[in-house]
Structure 1
Amino acid sequence: MGRRPLIQRDAVARTAVEIVDEDGPGALSLERIATRMGVRAPSLYNHFADKTEILAEAARLIVLETPDQGDVVDGDWVSWLVEGAVAFRGALLAHARSVPMVVENFPQRLLERLYARHCRILSDNGVPIADQMFIVESVHRMTIGSAMCAATGRPAMAPPHDPELFDTEVVADLESGRWTDDRLFVAALRALLDGVRAGHGTPVGRGVDTGGRA
Structure 2
Amino acid sequence: MARPSKPLISRASAVAASIEIIDSEGLDAFSLPRLAKHLGVRAPSLYHHFSDKSEILAAVARQIAGAGTIPRRKPGPDWPEYFVTLSTNLRRSILKHRNAAPILLQYLPRDLLSRPYEDTARFLEASGVPVHLHVQILDGMERLTLGAVLTEAMRKPSTKNTIFPNVDPETQPLLARALAENEMTSRQLFEEMIRSFLHGVVRNDDVEIEDAHDMSVSAR
TM beyond 0.5: yes
State the one-letter code of the partner of 2:77. Answer: G
Contact 1:82/1:190 (8 A) holds in 2:
yes
Q: 1:21 aligns with which of 10, 20, 23?
A: 23
Please list the CA deviations of residues 110-139 of structure 1 after superposition, one character each: whole Å capped at 9, or x if unmatched.
222023322222122222222212212222
**Structure 1, residues 80-122: CA drift from partner, whole Å, max 9, x if none?**
1111111111111111211221232113332220233222221
Cα deviations across residues 46-79 of structure 1 (Å, max 9, x unaligned)? Answer: 2111111111111121122212311335332111
* Matches of 2:51 and 2:123, distance apart in 1: 36
Q: For 1:179-194, what aligned pairs fall within 5 Å after superposition?
A: 179-194=184-199
Q: CA–CA distance in 2 between the matches of 1:122 and 1:165?
A: 47
1:198 corresponds to which letter in structure 2? R
Given the superposition, is the C-alpha separation of residues 183 and 71 from structure 1 closer, same or farther in structure 2, using an over 3 Å criterion?
A: closer
Does the 8 Å CA contact 1:159/1:175 hold for their aligned counterparts?
no
Q: Say yes or no: does 1:158 pair with 2:164.
A: yes
Q: Which runs of 5+ in 2 are unaligned?
A: 1-5, 210-220
Q: Summarize the Cα distance change of 1:128–1:9 in structure 2 as closer, same or farther, 3 Å threshold.
A: same
* Structure 1 equivalent of residue 117 of structure 2: 115
**Residues 193/165 of structure 1: CA separation in 2 closer, same or farther (3 Å cut):** farther
Q: How does 1:129-208 map to 2 (within 5 A)?
A: 129-153=131-155, 155=158, 157-158=163-164, 161-163=167-169, 168=174, 170-201=175-206, 202=208
Q: Which residue of 2 aligns with 1:42?
A: 44
* Residues 127, 200 of structure 1: 8 Å contact kept: no
RMSD: 2.5
Q: Which residue, out of 51, 59, 62, partners 2:61?
A: 59
From the two aligned structures, give the one with the greater helix fraction.
2
**CA drift at 1:187:** 1.4
Confirm or deny: 8 A CA contact 1:123 1:129 kept in the other structure.
yes
User: Which one is further off, 102-111 or 159-168?
Assistant: 159-168
For the structure 1 residues 138 and 128, does the alpha-carbon distance in structure 2 shift closer, same or farther, using more than 3 Å as the test? Answer: same
Structure 1 CA distance, aligned partners of 2:15 and 2:32? 11
Q: Distance in 2 between matches of 1:68 and 1:141?
A: 18
Question: Match of 2:80, as an amino acid?
Answer: V
Q: Which range moved further: 29-38 or 66-75?
A: 66-75
Contact 1:160/1:171, CA 8 A, preserved across alignment? no
Counterpart Cα distance in 2 of 1:147 and 1:37: 30
TM-score after normalising by structure 1: 0.82
Q: Tell me, yes or no, if structure 1 residue 104 matches structure 2 residue 106.
A: yes
Partners of 2:191 and 2:111 lie apart in 1 by 27
Residues 72 and 196 of structure 1, relative CA distance in 2, 3 Å threshold: farther
Task: After superposing the two structures, state which structure 1 stretch, 87-96 or 102-111, moved more.
Answer: 102-111
Give the structure with higher Rg (CA): 2
If the length of structure 2 is used for normalisation, what is the TM-score?
0.80
Determine what percentage of the aligned residue pairs are the same residue.
33
Cα offset for 1:36? 0.6
Q: How many residues align?
A: 200
Say if 1:128 and 1:200, in contact at 8 Å, map to a contact too: no
The more displaced of 78-87 and 112-121 is: 112-121
